[in-house]
Amino acid sequence: MTNQIIAQEQRVGDNKLIIKGQLIDTHTRCSHYHTELDIIALKFKCCRDSIYYPCFQCHEELAGHKIEKLPVESEIKAIVCGKCWYEMTAKEYMESQLQCPSCHGHFNPKCSLHYNLYFEM
């Protein structure tokens, strides 16, 4: 897989969602995180409802403002699977056993090391 950036914005999920970042493919992988398992993007409290970022670094580079984290108990759909575009809450994602509840695509277990960067715990 190449780390070449192909876009900084993509419309996905029947054009309902926007993925912003240093995107290297059409499955939410970015120049910062791009293993086979890096197939999620996250929504931040500070951004419009339909906008997701693959990682905190993409947000820092492109959003133009500081990250505001969503509470982990929020009912807002804050994670999207980059394989099938299924949206889930932070809690649903954390309880997913590292796979999408819809398509069963596998998620990166190391993402749990960054929960504090994305969610109010």
Long-range contacts of 90-93 (CB under 8 A, 24+ apart): 90/118, 90/119, 93/40
**Confidence band of 13 (pLDDT split at 50, 70, 90):** confident
> Is residue 40 a part of any domain in this protein?
yes
* Any domain includes 98: yes
Nearest-CA neighbor of 41 among 66, 9, 1?
9
Stated as kind and residue range, the H or E segment containing 11 is strand 7-12
Mean pLDDT of 54-68: 96
Q: What average pLDDT does the segment 26-51 reach? A: 95
In a domain, 55, yes or no: yes
pLDDT at 36: 96
- Report CA-CA distances (Å) from 30 to 40, 68, 75, 84, 92: 10, 21, 26, 17, 23
> Is pLDDT of 1 > 80?
no
Does residue 3 belong to any structural domain of this protein?
Answer: no
In a domain, 24, yes or no: yes
Q: Give yes or no for residue 38 having a pLDDT over 70.
A: yes
**Residue 2: is its pLDDT beyond 70?**
no
Residues near 6 by Cβ (< 8 Å), separated by ≥ 6? Answer: 23, 24, 25
Q: Tell if the pTM clears 0.85, that is, is over it.
A: yes
How many domains does the chain divide into? 1
Q: How far apart are CA 38 and CA 84, in angstroms?
A: 13
Residue 1 lies in a domain: no
Predicted pLDDT at 32 = 96
Structural domain of 25: 8-118
In a domain, 13, yes or no: yes
Residue 88 inside a domain? The answer is yes
